[in-house]
Structure 1
């Protein structure tokens, strides 16, 4: 299938993708950003009459097979789940496997414009590399894919565009907003007047939702005298508002989340020092999978501002990426006709 614009947000926590369906609506998908090396023997598909077949794809990157998809295991021996948490994440084989996995699950084989996002602080360092790496023809073991052009934008810009899509009268040139994207590994923020970023008041740091999960894991380890390593299950329990099952105990994580508030406050303090007073900001928009976790900390830091958690925060960036890509392609085609 050929598509004019395809957007992928290869996050540290989840990989999200979006494209325009034939009906005109935005089609989306998401799966965990886990890319373990594929097992040499796949027992899970041994007898389809008795076992449900997992929704997984085997993606080849530099002659190594990785498993990616909605049913990838959240747990592994010694915590080796195939998640990469590092600042050079976009250079890793895991990143490439997840990106190709998104293309595969969408059934796309030809992309005119691929839109990707980067944490704000990584834009100068990695944007050109991403464009060079993924432009052209690729074969990841499941068929050839052609990508004509790659566009890279700051991640929170996607949420800004998504937030404004149905409220354009609130996002005029003289309307300032602060968009905070709380990802799995990083927290990024964009201060913008309309859609013009203020580079001096936009930034990002390592310090996303995973740091909260890791702090909770440390607290659980201390209290239960057993090492807790599977932070993916802590993430899942908090998102689904369910107990964390641990050695035959159902543990309520709410008290541990309260004890981890100092981790959130540390990140918020760095951001507050960067953006300064927000007397002219019409709203603070929280986005990303960890947005809801940071809401209390943001409210405490900016008590006089309106704070809102964007609808479907996990998918906001990638939907915005798609809108940005479509607008750019329209301008490009209009210029070519002129």
Structure 2
């Protein structure tokens, strides 16, 4: 299948993608950003339908096979789930495996414009490397994929573009907004007048949702007397507002989230020091998988500013990336 624009938000927590289906609607998908080494043998295909086959794909990077997909295991012995939490994440083979997995599950074989995002503080360091690595002819074990052009933008701009597309008014060229993208490993913010980004008041830092999950894990370990290594299940429990099952117990995570508040407050204070009091900002737009965790602290920090939690915040950047790519193609075609 050929796609004019394919947008992928390869996050530390989840990989999200969006593209325009043949019907004209926006198709999306998401799976955990886990890329463990593929097993040397599989038992899930046996048992005469007693064991259901998992929705995963084996992706080959430099002759090493990784397993990615919606049904990849959230747990592993001693916490080795195949998640990479590092500042140079986008240069890792894990990142490449997840990106290729998104293309595979969408069934895309030719992309005119691949749109990717980077944390604000990493744009200068890694944008050129992404453009070079993922443009051209690609092969990861499932046939060749052609990518004509790679576009890399600051991650929160995807949420800003999506917000402008779903609202009437309040997004004029002189209207200021602060977009806060709370990811799994980083929190990024963009201060924008219309679509003009203020570099001095935009930034980001390590300190996303995973820090909260790790703090919760340490608190549960203190109370239960056992180490908690699978923070992916804590992430899933919070997103689904479900209890966390641990050694025969259903644990309510609400009290533990409250005890992790000082970590959240520290990140918000750093952002507040960068952007100021925001008397002229029409709204603060919250997006990202950890947006709900940070909402209360941001409201306390900016009590007189309107706070908006974007719909489906986990998918917001990918959907916005798609709109950015489509707008770019339209401009190029008009110019031609």
The TM-score bracket by the shorter chain reads over 0.9
Match of 1:54 in 2: 54
Describe the SS at the equivalent of 2:200.
Answer: helix
Between the aligned partners of 1:214 and 1:78, the Cα distance in structure 2 is: 15
Q: Tell me how far 1:50 sits from its aligned partner.
A: 1.2
Match of 2:131 in 1: 131
Match of 1:266 in 2: 266
Q: Tell me how far 1:288 sits from its aligned partner.
A: 0.1
Provide, for residues 29-79 of structure 1, a one-character-per-residue CA deviation record: whole Å limited to 9, x for no partner.
000000000000111222342111100000000100000000000000000
Match of 2:228 in 1: 228
Aligned length: 336
Match of 1:255 in 2: 255
Between the aligned partners of 2:187 and 2:56, the Cα distance in structure 1 is: 29
Provide, for residues 128-151 of structure 1, a one-character-per-residue CA deviation record: whole Å limited to 9, x for no partner.
000000000011001110000000
1:103 aligns with 2:103: yes
Describe the SS at the equivalent of 1:250.
Answer: strand
Between the aligned partners of 1:321 and 1:175, the Cα distance in structure 2 is: 21
TM-score of the aligned structures, taking structure 2 as reference length: 0.99
Describe the SS at the equivalent of 1:40.
Answer: coil
TM-score of the aligned structures, taking structure 1 as reference length: 0.99
Q: What does 1:134-213 correspond to in 2, within 5 Å? A: 134-213=134-213
1:324 aligns with 2:329: no
Report the CA distance shift for 1:31/1:113 in structure 2 as closer, same or farther (over 3 A): same
Match of 2:218 in 1: 218
Between the aligned partners of 1:22 and 1:172, the Cα distance in structure 2 is: 32
Match of 1:74 in 2: 74
Between the aligned partners of 2:332 and 2:2, the Cα distance in structure 1 is: 18
Between the aligned partners of 1:321 and 1:156, the Cα distance in structure 2 is: 10
Provide, for residues 303-337 of structure 1, a one-character-per-residue CA deviation record: whole Å limited to 9, x for no partner.
0111111000011000000000000011111212x
Describe the SS at the equivalent of 2:66.
Answer: strand
Describe the SS at the equivalent of 2:133.
Answer: helix
Between the aligned partners of 1:291 and 1:61, the Cα distance in structure 2 is: 33
Gaps of 5+ in 1: none
Between the aligned partners of 2:166 and 2:265, the Cα distance in structure 1 is: 32
Between the aligned partners of 2:238 and 2:3, the Cα distance in structure 1 is: 36
Between the aligned partners of 1:220 and 1:84, the Cα distance in structure 2 is: 23
Report the CA distance shift for 1:131/1:241 in structure 2 as closer, same or farther (over 3 A): same
Match of 1:310 in 2: 310
Between the aligned partners of 1:295 and 1:3, the Cα distance in structure 2 is: 36
Between the aligned partners of 2:93 and 2:45, the Cα distance in structure 1 is: 25
Between the aligned partners of 1:43 and 1:202, the Cα distance in structure 2 is: 49
Between the aligned partners of 2:242 and 2:5, the Cα distance in structure 1 is: 37
Provide, for residues 246-280 of structure 1, a one-character-per-residue CA deviation record: whole Å limited to 9, x for no partner.
00011001000000000100000000000002000
CA RMSD of aligned residues (A): 0.7
Provide, for residues 90-143 of structure 1, a one-character-per-residue CA deviation record: whole Å limited to 9, x for no partner.
000000000000000000000000000000000000000000000000110011
Gaps of 5+ in 2: none
Between the aligned partners of 2:166 and 2:203, the Cα distance in structure 1 is: 26
Describe the SS at the equivalent of 1:170.
Answer: coil
Q: Tell me how far 1:168 sits from its aligned partner.
A: 4.5
Between the aligned partners of 2:30 and 2:167, the Cα distance in structure 1 is: 26
Match of 1:84 in 2: 84
